[in-house]
Amino acid sequence: MEWSDVRIFLAVAREGSLGAAARALGLSHPTVARRIAALEHAMDQVLFQRHKDGVLLSDAGARVVRLAEEMEASALAIHRRLAGEPGKPNGPLRISAADWFATYVLPPVIEALLDEHPGILPELVVSARRYDLSRREADIVFRVVPFEEPGVVQCRLPRIAYGLYAREGEPPPARGDGRGARLVLMDTSTHAYPEVEWLREMLPHARPVVVSNHRALQARLCQRGVGLAVLPRAVGDATDGLARIDLGEPPPSRHVWMGYHEDMRGMDRVRALADIALRMLDDTEGDPRS
């Protein structure tokens, strides 16, 4: 079995159809169908059962999946190791971060990176999705929760301060009550956000009116008077028309974590950005971990 065929086999198994696998791989539907047919012929096994909505793994295909995934892991490790070889900082660098961090915190870091290493081309992927570093979906990631994935080198960056904001001129709510106030909340369906629980404790009678996972959108809604919002101060303080509300204690702060795969330690582009981020986004409380 060749890796190129295994890659197509895994894509079909994961996507559930030849067409979806073709789109994911950037290949044509006939090419995927032909390669799967050739693989089945070479192995003298039926790997997929066809049905009207796509394909399902046969018993033989299910037995092959685990071995194919081991082959994939080895191929990805080779790719990461070669990409991580030291050299002159040059070429693309895929960076993942949440929308607000990329918009309000990273720009001076990216500017310094370009000034010091003009051969690097930053590719910023702004998303709440957690990208898989082992698959090189991103080279380096900034996020507000520690990395638990194996093989990730991580470092704790600064503690991010949060604040409660309202449109300028809006009367502040009463702590412990909040009657009549409306809330723009963070979406907690996939991740926990401690500031949401804090807000509900501070203003138990306030009414949630919007839920969103996008900080800049929350700031705009708050700016228009839709409701109160807890925002990173990097966002709220930089947004015209917002006033920070003091309820006697601030919302809980959070650290930002920077991570990259251990195989990328020697990649000069990753090291360049990591060094600049550590220099410019210094953890004032100390205790960096890696």
Q: What is the pLDDT of residue 63?
A: 83
What mean pLDDT is reported for the chain?
85
**Does the pLDDT at position 83 exceed 70?**
no
The tens digit of pLDDT for each residue in 237-260 reads: 999 999 999 999 999 998 899 998
From the list 134, 135, 132, the residue with the least C-alpha distance to 143 is 132
Partners of residue 120 on adjacent β-strands? 91
Do 80 and 261 form a contact (C-beta atoms < 8 A)? yes
Do 29 and 18 form a contact (C-beta atoms < 8 A)? yes
Q: What is the pLDDT of residue 110?
A: 95
The tens digit of pLDDT for each residue in 21-39 reads: 898 888 899 999 988 988 8
pTM for the complete prediction? 0.64
Average pLDDT over residues 178-192: 88
The tens digit of pLDDT for each residue in 5-14 reads: 888 888 898 8
Q: What is the distance between the alpha carbons of residues 283 and 156, in angstroms, rounded to a whole number?
A: 7
Burial 73-97 (b: 16+ CB within 10 A, else e): eeebeeebeebbeeeebeeebbbbb
